[in-house]
Amino acid sequence: MEVEIFTLADYAADYGQGKLVINGTFDNITAKEFPAIHPSCAIVARIRIANSELGLHYFQIDALNPQGDNFHEPFKGEFTIQKNPNADHTTLNIIWNLVHSKFDMPGKYAFEFYYDGEFRTGLSLTVGVVDY
């Protein structure tokens, strides 16, 4: 399995047949006061699974605050890979839409992607204080 994309965006959609739309990727936000609520965003993963990896697989995305604790319930799923007769792999788009995310304090937040129980990649979101 190869992670092709793992990002945080304003919006994402899977249009089917492997087409993924991502709009407005970012890695920092600011707030005037805390706790702060971010209206909406999406965590997006695009993975490529080889035909040799047929069968049932699992994924999980954890959302961690600056202390390393979950600030959202983990996003989990499973899927079964069957042989792709048209290519040597299957591409899967995973979109986790987060609405009204609460950030209790400024700092570095993290999103971690696990595949079959193994950490594969992560990204960070810096939440800062508006200084004007």
Q: What is the pLDDT along the chain (132 residues), one digit of tens a residue?
A: 999 999 999 999 999 888 999 999 999 999 999 999 999 999 999 999 999 999 999 999 999 999 999 999 999 999 999 999 999 999 999 999 999 999 999 999 999 999 999 999 999 999 999 976
CA distance 26 to 17: 26
- Residue 22 backbone dihedrals phi, psi, to 5 degrees: -130, 130
CA distances from 42 to 5, 51, 97 (A): 13, 28, 4
- pTM for the structure as a whole: 0.94
Widest pairwise Cα distance in the chain? 57
